[in-house]
Structure 1
Amino acid sequence: MPGPSHEPEADDGLYDPFADLLFALVAAVLPAILVLLPVVHQAARSPGAQRPTDAVTVRGRPAQPILAGADGLRLAEDGRAVPLDRIPDDPALRALLLRLREAGEPLLLIVEPNGLESAFAFEPIAAAYGPPQIEQVRARSTCAAAQEPALARACMAFATAP
């Protein structure tokens, strides 16, 4: 009586042992790609689409930051500096404040430790031309040395301005 044959079956070339490995790899990697793709796409798209000042918010609304330093004001919107003696007479500053008033966008005034004189000179101009909501933050350090997370995030608007 013949026993079971120990001869290998004839390989017809349809089975490849590496095909299972390839299918397993695709089955593991494809869901990961599908999950990460929207996140990567959004991160790649957001730096160009978002202004640096969009990260600054006041009570949940985007705010326009202005930095009061020893030598005057610095506007985050265009990176322009307004010297201390030009604050009352600067037409571009007035135009910015009027635009903020019309848009209803709040203003965030960051006062550095040595910027009290600039803030004092800016206050009547902001009251006359600026938006109704003006928040003031008195920093314990300059923007360059800011270590508090919220202040450092607001100061990034000045670091990335042209």
Structure 2
Amino acid sequence: MWGNSSRKDDEDEAVGAVSFDPFADLLLGLIAIVVPIIGLLLASGNGLSDHIEKAQPAPPVEESFVIVADARGLSVPNGLGDGALYEIPVGAILDDENLARTLRERRDNAEPVSLRIEANGLESAFLFEAVAAQHGPASIFQTRIGALP
């Protein structure tokens, strides 16, 4: 009796009901989404090197206005040609009017600007970028000096 009834239930399930495995559905759904995305990413990377702009070489140091960023702040040439520098502490970089005016003058005269970033001068360089984005020339040549600790 017990054997016949369970056999009958199995036959009813096989004939009238379709069973779904939710994990298989999830797996197939993920595959259906991920495979085309991977194909698009691989196809779009083929021509990437054609669109990369070639970097212009940095001007010689003698012809460039060189700003040095270190842990103390920025060392900026005074612009008088005597090689003297004035120091801008880290906390004053964003508010320094002389730096903003100097960068505007360089931009207006299309003169190159170089930023030398010492190994401990990342914070100063980051703050300088904010000022340079607003007042500076279209391109600034950056050089990292020394290895990061």
TM-score normalised over the length of structure 1: 0.49
Q: Is the 8 A contact 1:68 1:116 kept in 2?
A: yes
Deviations 1:59-118 (A, max 9, x none): 358210000010100012341000000000000000100010011011100000000000
Question: Which residue is 2:130 aligned to?
Answer: 124
Q: Is the 8 A contact 2:59 2:112 kept in 1?
A: no
The correspondence of residues 62-73 of structure 1 with structure 2, limited to 5 A, is 62-73=63-74
Larger Rg: 2
Gaps of 5+ in 1: 1-56, 142-162
Offset, 1:133 = 2.0
Question: Which residue is 2:90 aligned to?
Answer: 84
CA separation in 1, counterparts of 2:70 and 2:77? 13
Deviations 1:108-160 (A, max 9, x none): 0000000000001110110110011201000017xxxxxxxxxxxxxxxxxxx
Q: Is the 8 A contact 2:94 2:131 kept in 1?
A: yes
TM-score normalised over the length of structure 2: 0.53
* Aligned residue type for 1:79: L
Question: Which residue is 2:9 aligned to?
Answer: none
Match of 2:141 among 115, 124, 135: 135
Q: Is the 8 A contact 1:106 1:132 kept in 2?
A: no
Moved over 4 A (4+): none
SS in 1 for 2:129: helix
C-alpha distance 59-79 of structure 1, shift in aligned 2 (>3 A) = closer
CA separation in 1, counterparts of 2:133 and 2:86? 21
Deviations 1:18-66 (A, max 9, x none): xxxxxxxxxxxxxxxxxxxxxxxxxxxxxxxxxxxxxxx9335821000
Aligned length in residues: 85
Question: Which residue is 1:35 aligned to?
Answer: none
CA separation in 1, counterparts of 2:73 and 2:59? 26
